[in-house]
Amino acid sequence: MGIDCLVLGAGQEIGKSCVVVTINGKKIMFDCGMHMGCDDHNRYPDFSIISKSGDFDNAISCIIITHFHMDHVGALPYFTEVCGYNGPIYMSYPTKALSPLMLEDYRRVMVDRRGEEELFTTTHIANCMKKVIAIDLKQTIQVDQDLQIRAYYAGHVLGAVMVYAKVGDAAIVYTGDYNMTTDRHLGAAKIDRLQLDLLISESTYATTIRGSKYPREREFLQAVHKCVAGGGKALIPSFALGRAQELCMLLDDYWERMNIKVPIYFSSGLTIQANMYYKMLISWTSQNVKEKHSTHNPFDFKNVKDFDRSLIHAPGPCVLFATPGMLCAGFSLEVFKHWAPSPLNLVALPGYSVAGTVGHKLMSGKPTTVDLYNGTKVDVRCKIHQVAFSPHTDAKGIMDLTNFLSPKNVVLVHGEKPSMMSLKDKITSELDIPCFVPANGETVSFASTTYIKANASDMFLKSCSNPNFKFSNSTQLRVTDQRTEDGVLVIEKSKKAKIVHQDEVSEVLHEKNHEVSLAYCCPVKAKEETCDVDLIKHLSKKILETISGAQIHESENCLQVGSFKGSLCLKEKCLHRRINSEAVFLCCDWSVAELELGWEIINLIKQKL
């Protein structure tokens, strides 16, 4: 038994999130999204990989949807009503309430307005949602006798969750999209410290580290204010739920403070419904919103009005939030066609735009014309302003979460390949955790955890009951308790496992002499042109500079300091290696009597030479 992670969508790309994880024989589908930038067979995940016969009920134990964005839920009605999956589907209460609104809005835009082939109907959406089981935060759900799941708050959008799944002793977390910082209307992601075999994390902003949000907010407000003060119209393409509420709160407050009389509009009746749900689901919002709610509902915007289509050509300045985001279709794209040719106007893009969308084309440069989906061209003379208000975590947030959870393995999804590869190297080198970046259709396999019961000898238990503090001198006093380090796990054939004190090992194994040692095949951060001899010399020099009184013996491909021995490892796979990569490795072993010396040298080896 083990863990297999099959990426059906969002592998080395952003779009159609769908990851199928098999944990000790139980198969879970995390998210079932569509690609917003595709209008061909690549729009949906390739479900045939799961089951060639189409018997998805027996192939999948359950589906878990992390939030209502189309790239995470957009293929669900197609998979249930057209492909025929009838098994359990789990999502949070807000996601269950808001997903049908988003799905119907998308269907209406793509079919009724653009005339595309109808892949699922209004009836399909309704029947699909009847199969959904809503779950609360931190509620442990027993899907069957072996599989249990639990949802954690993810920030990002209203109702978004991270998902913990456990089968036997093996456990994983799938993050979906998440945000590690609080914004105006949502809190930061929160999760317990868990023992995990695998963490599957989004990596939209794998190499971006954001500063304070206040300069970004000020820059956005100034850009919009300058536009309307000059008589222009500001178009903000956004999905009806999420960034729209965040930016409305920001603009509504600014309009009040500055006493600005220019109208702010919402284009979609969907947003009116969305704001109603936000008012009902206050418990899922930020602490700031909860505190204000007792005297005033922050989603009752004073300066925001509903937009009538006839106002597209009306004279005078205004601000318009139009759906959908990314300028991928619908009313936002229709307004863009009319407003883009005027240099007085502004298009403010409030987050990431998927490749293939008009939003992505505008963000990729300063185009003078843009090709639309139907082959028409639009002159772009308006100002383009990219607003860094994405609800996704940045690179620091991903590293912080990974470090906090300290899983045995990491898989990155939902990102752009070059940035993902850079983050993979960072996780591998700085956190010493194996990290993988599979493409769509690829499977990564891992060993799963199995716990065993073990007896403990009287001598080991006695040593554990007495403190064994060790004091070390450094820049500040460090105190460690060495008790558990004295234990050795002994597993003999057809006998129950036993933990004994290291002084008992010789007697238990019927050996006259026995010494406990540690071994680790450590990756070395060396320059590409460094040869083996130079590498050993560089390491020796670094050890001498750092560890006072160290006596080093070195040869061409190995060095020794006390009981610590390190030699260049030429094996493709080493028993003592946690990570297999193209790095240079030094195979090290040292006595438990010089435990601290060994780990001090290991930490030096990991630093760049």
Q: What is the CA radius of gyration of the chain?
A: 29
Residue with tokens 């019961």: 453
Q: If we measure between CA atoms, which residue out of 4, 21, 24, 6 comes closest to residue 170?
A: 24
Task: For tokens 């072996």, name the residue.
Answer: 146
Q: Is 146 exposed, middle or buried (0-12, 13-18, 19+ CB in 10 A)?
A: middle
Distance CA 150, CA 141 (A): 6
Q: Which of 202, 217, 246, 504 is catalytic?
A: 202
Residue 219 contacts residue 185 (beta carbons within 8 Å): no
CA 363 to chain centroid, in Å, comes to 23
Spatial distance between the Cα atoms of 42 and 34, rounded to a whole number of angstroms: 9
Q: Work out whether strand 318-322 and strand 26-30 pair parallel, antiparallel, or are unpaired.
A: unpaired
CB of 46 closer than 8 Å to CB of 75: no
CB 199 within 8 A of CB 165: no
Q: Is 420 helix (H, G, I), strand (E, B) or coil?
A: helix
Q: Name, in order, each residue with C-beta under 8 angstroms of 473's C-beta and a sequence gap of 6 or more.
A: none
202 is catalytic: yes
381, 343 contact by CB (below 8 A): yes
Phi-psi bin for 242: left (phi > 0), alpha (psi -120 to 50), beta? left
- H/E stretch holding 322 reads strand 318-322
**What value, to the nearest 5°, has the Cα angle with vertex 384 and ends 381 and 387?**
170
Q: Is the CB of residue 156 less than 8 Å from the CB of residue 183?
A: no
- Name the token pair of 554: 């070195």
CB-CB neighbours of 416 under 10 Å: 17
For residue 449, what are the CA distances in angstroms to 412, 438, 456?
21, 22, 21
Residues with catalytic function:
202
